């Protein structure tokens, strides 16, 4: 098929996620390698956001691909009630990379499913119904996971699909502190409020957090925040769920973001980078204490593709590749360079309100007015399908052959961990030029 035929068939027969269906005109991608991909016309693009912050190992890692092929030839499928060598090998490998104490595993095929399992497990273990989540969060698209999502995608589906029991807490978002306070004199009030909230709510089974917020702004908490949340949840006998779907697998310079603050949750969920996104795999990991609650009690969860051998074998290969390529250390070093360059660029542009990040995971927040922090656009604009300034910026970057995710009023810069300095510079230079479009619409232009 040629590119136009592919585009026509896909457009006429498929749904596309999280947008109005009218007007969708997708780019046809034909191949990818390393930090780059190509369209049907042969144009090359730098992948500056790892697609959906997923291809941490880059596109087409040969060892992961070979693990998929080998497993397909040996044992392509086995029902979840059977043990397989792939299942044993990945379980063993995970014990060497997960935070100590997380040693019981449920395998699914996505981050959404991983969170769905964690929420069901937490409610079943505690015999309580409520979950504390945060407003600037995304945890998935299925019933329970979308119900604990704080941002616009929950509001879009809430009238027809909602699991009751979510209580939303303030975010640790210093640039836009929900209390109007300033760190460190604030005393980390956003964490202290959770203590008050759980005390007053009652019936709380768990709190779910992205240790570093993903799509909704790459918000890195202050050092005291997660340890305080861990202490508060333990005080109230509430389970802590860490959603590391985006922040795991070297993205922030550690195997998992919680390692930066020496916090071990009761449950940790992840996906994406676990196989470098070369095949779908989700993981829900728990402490033995959580698992023990089901030794004599019915475990009320499962999937046909749970612990699918074809998804597990590449997980082992991916872990070996993170180690062989030294990608955790590389993410830390390149992350320092990336943030330094982004801050230099941000200082030049009146439309940049904040730059933040950790490792190779960064956000550039756009504002109409630096003094008041007024954004160009809001979630209401996104839901209504109004033109977004951030889309103008990412569109200009695409014309230069650089793909970067924009969401409401910020850009997410998260290239594959194998990215070269030359590729980083190429993407940053394209961003620098594209931000002029936003500057023209900012106060003082």
Residue 247's pLDDT is what?
Answer: 98
**Residue 339 sits in the same domain as residue 422:** yes
Q: Which parts of 91-142 are beta strand (E)?
A: 104-108, 130-134
Confidence of residue 139 (pLDDT cuts 50, 70, 90): very high
| Domains contained in the chain, number | 2
Quick check: 269 pLDDT over 90?
A: yes
User: Band of the pLDDT at 357, cuts 50, 70, 90?
Assistant: very high
Give mean pLDDT, residues 118-144.
97
Within-domain flag for 42 = yes
Residue 156 confidence (pLDDT): 84
Q: 275, 304, 324: which is the final residue of a domain?
A: 324
Q: Give residue 161's region: left, alpha or beta (phi > 0; psi -120 to 50).
A: beta
Q: Between 158 and 423, whose confidence is greater?
A: 423
My answer on whether 150 and 250 are in the same domain is: yes
**Which pairing describes strands 405-407 and 410-413: parallel, antiparallel, or unpaired?**
antiparallel
203 with 302, same domain: the answer is yes
Question: For 403-414, what is the mean pLDDT?
Answer: 98
Question: H/E element holding 366?
Answer: strand 362-366
445 assigned to some structural domain? no
Beta bridge partners of 38: 31, 44
Cβ count near 183 (within 10 Å): 16
Residue-wise pLDDT for 285-335, tens only, equals: 999 999 999 999 999 999 999 999 999 999 999 999 999 999 999 999 999
Same domain, 138 and 259: yes
β-strand pairing of 352-357 with 362-366:
antiparallel
Predicted pLDDT of residue 287 = 98
In three state form, how does the secondary structure of 164-231 look? CCEEEECCCCHHHCCCCCCCCCCCCHHHHHHHHHHHHHCCEEEEEECCCCCCCCCCCCCCCHHHHHHH
In-domain check, residue 444: no
Helices (H), 127-188: 143-147, 152-157
How far is Cα 394 from Cα 397, in angstroms, rounded to an integer?
A: 5
Q: 125: closest CA among 104, 109, 139, 142?
A: 104
Q: Which CATH number goes with the domain that contains 29?
A: 3.90.1150.10
Same domain, 93 and 151: yes
If DSSP codes are grouped into helix, strand and coil, which group holds residue 150? coil
Mean residue pLDDT across the chain = 97
Residue 263 falls inside a structural domain = yes
For the chain, the farthest-separated pair of C-alpha atoms sits apart, in whole angstroms, at 67
Find the Cα–Cα–Cα–Cα dihedral 114, 115, 116, 122, rounded to 10°: 110
- Tell me what pLDDT residue 71 has: 98
Residue ending a domain, among 297, 324, 351, is: 324
Let me know if residue 88 belongs to a domain.
Answer: yes
Residue 160 has pLDDT above 80, yes or no: no
Lateral strand order in the sheet of 362-366: 352-357, 362-366, 410-413, 405-407
Task: State yes or no: pLDDT of 161 exceeds 90.
Answer: no
pLDDT, residue 225, reads: 98
One domain, residues 168 and 260: yes
Both tokens assigned to 100: 């100590």
SS3 420: coil
417-432 pLDDT per residue, tens = 999 999 999 999 999 9
Q: Say yes or no to pLDDT of 155 above 90.
A: no
For position 346, what pLDDT does the model report? 98
Same domain, 69 and 184: yes
| Average pLDDT estimate for 129-143 | 97
Sole residue written with tokens 């927040």: 365
Domain that holds residue 157: 62-324
Q: How far apart are CA 289 and CA 411, in angstroms?
A: 40
- 257 — pLDDT class (breaks 50, 70, 90): very high
Asked if pLDDT for residue 339 goes beyond 90, the answer is: yes
pLDDT over 70 for what percent of the chain?
100
Q: Map tokens 């793909």 to a residue.
A: 403
CA dist., res. 287 & res. 291, Å (int): 7
Count of positions (residues) in the chain? 445
User: How far apart, in Å, do the first and last CA atoms of the chain sit?
Assistant: 47
Q: Do residues 166 and 148 touch, judged by C-beta distance below 8 A?
A: yes
Asked whether residue 363 falls in the same domain as residue 429, the answer is yes
**Domain stop point among 299, 324, 349:** 324
Q: Is residue 244 part of a domain?
A: yes
Q: Are residues 115 and 154 both part of a single domain?
A: yes
In a domain, 246, yes or no: yes
Neighbours of 20 (CB within 10 A): 10
What SS3 state is found at 354?
strand
pLDDT of residue 223: 98
The answer on 249 and 118 residing in a single domain is: yes
Q: Is the pLDDT of residue 189 over 80?
A: yes
Instruction: Give the DSSP per-residue string, 274-312.
Output: GTTTSS--EEEEE-HHHHHTTSSS------TTTT-HHHH
Q: 210, 243 in Cβ contact below 8 A?
A: yes
Per-residue pLDDT, 158: 84
pLDDT at 101: 97
CA atoms within 13 A on the CB side of 392: 17
- 48 and 175 co-located in one domain: no
pLDDT beyond 90 at 113:
yes
Q: What CATH number does the domain containing 80 carry?
A: 3.40.640.10
Q: What is the pLDDT of residue 8?
A: 97
Q: Quick one: which of 384, 433, 444, 373 has its CA closest to 409?
A: 373
pTM for this model (two decimals): 0.97
Q: Contact 239/126 with Cβ under 8 angstroms?
A: yes
Considering the domain architecture, whether residues 274 and 190 belong to the same structural domain is answered as yes
* pLDDT value at 347 more than 80: yes
Helix (H, G, I), strand (E, B) or coil at 402: strand
């Amino acid at each position: 098929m040629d590119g136009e035929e592919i585009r026509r068939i896909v457009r006429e027969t498929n749904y596309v996620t999280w947008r109005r269906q009218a007007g969708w005109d997708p780019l046809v991608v034909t191949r990818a390698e390393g930090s780059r991909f190509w369209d049907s016309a042969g144009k090359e693009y730098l992948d500056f956001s790892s697609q959906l912050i997923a291809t941490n190992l880059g596109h087409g890692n040969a060892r992961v691909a070979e693990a998929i092929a080998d497993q397909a030839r040996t044992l392509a499928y086995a029902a979840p009630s059977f043990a397989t060598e792939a299942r044993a090998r990945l379980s063993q490998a995970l014990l060497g990379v997960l935070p100590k104490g997380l040693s019981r595993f449920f395998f699914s095929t996505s981050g959404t499913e991983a969170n769905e399992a964690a929420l069901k497990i937490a409610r079943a273990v505690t015999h309580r119904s409520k979950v504390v989540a945060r407003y600037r969060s995304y945890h998935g698209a299925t019933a329970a996971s979308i119900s604990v999502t704080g941002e616009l995608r929950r509001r879009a589906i809430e009238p027809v699909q909602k699991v009751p029991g979510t209580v939303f807490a303030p975010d640790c978002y210093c640039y836009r502190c929900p209390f109007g306070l300033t760190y460190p004199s604030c005393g980390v009030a956003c964490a202290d409020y959770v203590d008050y909230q759980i005390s007053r709510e009652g019936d709380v089974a768990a709190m779910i957090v992205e240790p570093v917020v993903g799509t909704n702004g790459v918000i890195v908490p202050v050092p005291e925040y997660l340890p305080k949340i861990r202490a508060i949840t333990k005080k109230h006998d509430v389970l802590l769920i860490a959603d590391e779907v985006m922040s795991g697998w070297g993205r922030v310079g550690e195997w998992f973001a919680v390692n930066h603050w020496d916090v071990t949750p009761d449950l940790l969920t992840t996906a994406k980078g676990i196989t470098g996104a070369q095949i779908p795999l989700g993981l829900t990991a728990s402490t033995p204490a959580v698992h023990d609650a089901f030794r004599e009690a019915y475990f009320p969860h499962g999937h046909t593709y749970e612990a699918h051998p074809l998804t597990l074998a590449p997980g082992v290969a991916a872990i070996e590749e993170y180690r062989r390529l030294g990608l955790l250390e590389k993410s830390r070093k390149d992350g320092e360079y990336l943030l330094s360059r982004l801050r230099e660029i941000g200082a030049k542009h009146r439309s940049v309100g904040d730059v933040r990040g950790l490792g190779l995971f960064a956000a550039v927040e756009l504002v109409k007015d630096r003094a008041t922090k007024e954004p160009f656009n809001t979630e209401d604009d996104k839901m209504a399908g109004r033109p977004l300034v951030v889309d103008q910026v990412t569109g200009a970057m695409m014309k230069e052959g650089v793909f970067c995710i924009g969401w409401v009023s910020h850009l997410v810069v998260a290239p594959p961990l194998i990215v070269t300095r030359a590729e980083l510079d190429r993407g940053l230079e394209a961003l620098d030029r594209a931000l002029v479009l936003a500057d023209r619409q900012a106060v003082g232009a």
